[in-house]
Amino acid sequence: MMTSSDVCEVGSPPGTAQPRPPLRLRTNFLWSLLGNAVYQSCQIGLVVVLAKLTRGTGTQVVGLYDLAVATAAPVVALSSLQLRAAVATDRRGEFAFGHYLAVRLGGTVLAAVVIAGLAMAQGKPLVATLVIVGLGLVRCVDAVSDIVHGLFQQYERMDLSAVRQILRGLGSLLVLAILLMIAGRFVSAETALLCSAAGLLAFSAFMLVGSEYPAAARLLAASGSPARIRPRWEPDVLKRLVRVALPLGIGLMLVSLTLSIPRLLTERYLGLTALGVFGPMLYLVGVGQVVVASLGLAGGPRLALHFANQNRPAFDRLVLRIAGIALLIGGLGVMLAAWGGRTILTWLYQPAFGQYKPVFIVLMVGGLFSYVASALGFSVTATRRFSAQIRPLALTALACLLSGLVLIPRYGLIGAAYSVGVAAIVQMITLGMTLVLLRSRHVWHGQAKRGHAPAIKPAEVTAEAAFDGPHPRP
């Protein structure tokens, strides 16, 4: 599944592997947008397939799937330590890729154990517990894959990442649909979902070993690094890497926890059937987040370069541009939900979903605020003050928890949607205040004091390297 054209220049001498130059910012953005858009569409497609092929059980199987995702996501997020961002920005080689891989593998094993414990603690029937564990293991394998994509990002080759995202998304959708249709003829819907989880796990492992690892190995070989990808178990170095990346992991865990809290509370107070309605609508909010995330992945390194070079006007312009696009996307989402929400929900899922149009509208309003918050989060990350986001994200998770505890038992699904909106508003405000504070404390061009580090020149280091590798700092 890997060809020499992935990493070699056309016309290079036979037997040589000469890396292509980094792609342009716009090209990387377009590849990132394409990969993320297809992958996110396939994630929504998984829920659509579940809703369409398990109509006889209502929305309970969809709720079980969403419960598994909500259980596993925060655990995997914390264990991953957001090492993809650290890999992508470590252009000066402070840590070898083998060190990142070792930490990710160790964290993934620990996450799998914790997910299994959480699944058993929920007291569900055996099949439901195994479904949660199985889908959690899929997330764990995806986490190992994610760090390989960080290597593609480091070399500014988002085309390599996007192609494999597309293959992974489409393949997962096909595997789920086929196994659900076959197994659903002989066993219950829950057991069919368990068989599908096993198939998804096998396919995810195949993509990692058969496509992503070889691509990363050839990319490293073309750059003069050892082509063999293997973990490097050097305790002192790994401890230092964990200390460096821990704020990243905490921040990503808080983001994931904020997304999981309304789902977990909905299941607790309203049941799996209600979660099977709420979860699919929440997935649709993630469509706009794809564009914002692509902007952040492509523009973050450039923001970092402007910040490191003390170029205040360029930094401010790019922040406003990304935030403005995020606001526009959110506004379009709200209008689409208001004018065609019933049709969208009925066509995508089931006719019964159409009655929940008001919940969908509230969720899209919350999505508008969350898109702007994400844009501000990428801007804060570009300053390399990694720990600065922990307090805003902790306040966001707390606001989501408290509002959910009050609103969901009293108002049902519309209360769950309101809790999502409250969290998004808190996140936007607190991250905005954090960015303003960091911006005011930074020494910009013309304000440099004696002994201040000189600006980084593009000729000396690429945009990602402006982060200067991992240092104590989503």
Report whether pLDDT(109) > 90: yes
- Can you read off the two tokens belonging to residue 126? 């055996």
Report whether pLDDT(135) > 80: yes
| Contact yes or no for 129/122 (Cβ under 8 A) | yes
Q: 34-48, 176-190, 217-231, 388-402 — which is least confidently predicted? A: 217-231
User: CB 201: neighbour CB atoms within 10 A?
Assistant: 20
Query: What pLDDT, on the 0 to 100 scale, is given for residue 104?
Result: 92
Helix (H, G, I), strand (E, B) or coil at 18: coil
Query: What pLDDT, on the 0 to 100 scale, is given for residue 21?
Result: 60
Helix (H, G, I), strand (E, B) or coil at 196: helix
Tens of pLDDT, residues 18-38: 555 666 667 777 887 788 888
Query: What pLDDT, on the 0 to 100 scale, is given for residue 19?
Result: 52
Q: 6-10, 221-225, 312-316 — which is least confidently predicted? A: 6-10
Tens of pLDDT, residues 402-438: 999 999 999 999 999 999 999 999 999 999 999 988 8
Query: What pLDDT, on the 0 to 100 scale, is given for residue 228?
Result: 62
| CA–CA dist 334, 361 (Å, integer) | 6
More confident residue, 315 or 328: 328
Query: What pLDDT, on the 0 to 100 scale, is given for residue 472?
Result: 30
CA angle 18, 20, 21 (to 5 degrees): 125
Query: What pLDDT, on the 0 to 100 scale, is given for residue 455?
Result: 44
